[in-house]
Every structure is written in structure tokens, then in C-alpha cells.
Structure 1
Amino acid sequence: MQAYVYKSLRKPDTYLYLGKRDDFDALPPAVRAPLGELVFVLELALTENRRLARADPAVVRANLQAHGFHLQFPPTVLDPMVDG
């Protein structure tokens, strides 16, 4: 599975993963608006063996499949995209 990663210029250390490049229509307006301008930073393959620095790749893949996006928040912010 390919993922396209964008950095929020309004929210420090907040990243948006999309399953399709520039598919911002996948985001509900209430999610999109607070992010402000988004800058493309990376394309990556989310394989079974892929490791990510601050996110569980299995959770990212599940959110991309279920919602079309995944938000990665700064480590000090509770992540609502993760169950529990």
C-alpha cells in the first residue's frame, strides 16, 4: 500500500497520510480546516515490514483503508486515530 505524507504548516509535528496523492476530499471539513496549509513531504510503501518513527504502520494502513487518511499528532497529543 502506498501512502503520501503531508506536513501541516499550522499544527507543528502534525502529519497527514493519504492513500491517494492530493486526495484531500477524503478528509471531513472538520478535520481538514484546522490543519491549514499542507505540504507534501514523502511517498512511501506501507509494507508489512515497514517501520515508522512515530506511528504504528498497521494502524496507519487500517486508517487508510477505513477512512482514506491517517493523522499523526505530536507525541504529547492524545491520538484519536488509535483505539483505546
Structure 2
Amino acid sequence: MAKQNGERERVRRTRAVLHDTKIRAISEAIEQSFMDRKRITLRVAVDSEDKDYSGVVDKIDQGQNSLRVGGKWIPFETIIGVNQDENSLNQ
């Protein structure tokens, strides 16, 4: 796709398929952050890149399939990794 009028070229990515054990680890980390007010970092697939969002999960909206961490609403299906400490992100 060619760029037009200074618009940024967008690249579509296929959605990552996560293994059951990874989904379980992400769920447990989210639950622990929400219940115990522990800081986590979520790796999220956004457009053509991955982004990290850090903070405490303070709201979970199952009806909208999303959660709020660090003031940012994140759809569940975009979460591809989680880290509960400062050393490395679970990929």
C-alpha cells in the first residue's frame, strides 16, 4: 500500500494464537493484580507493533471483554504477554 497525503502506512497482523498454559498465566497475573493491587506489565498486540502497558488492574469489564490498567482500557484478545516483575516479559 502506498502512502498518500502523508498518512502512515498500516500493516495488518494476524492475531497471535496463545497456548492454554500462557492464557492461564496471563489470567492469573491479571487476577492477582486486581485482587492484591500488584503492578504488572501487559504486552499488547496493536496494529503492526507490540506495546507494553504497566500499572495495577483496577477494573475488569467482562461485558466489554476488556480491562483497565494504568488508566488504559485494553481488550482481552489483544493481550499476548504479561510480566509481574521488572526483569522480563513473559512471551
TM-score, normalised to structure 2, is 0.29
Between structures 1 and 2, the one with greater strand share:
2
Indicate the structure (1 or 2) with the bigger Cα radius of gyration: 2
Ranked by relative contact order (alpha carbons within 8 Å, sequence separation 6 or more), the top structure is 1
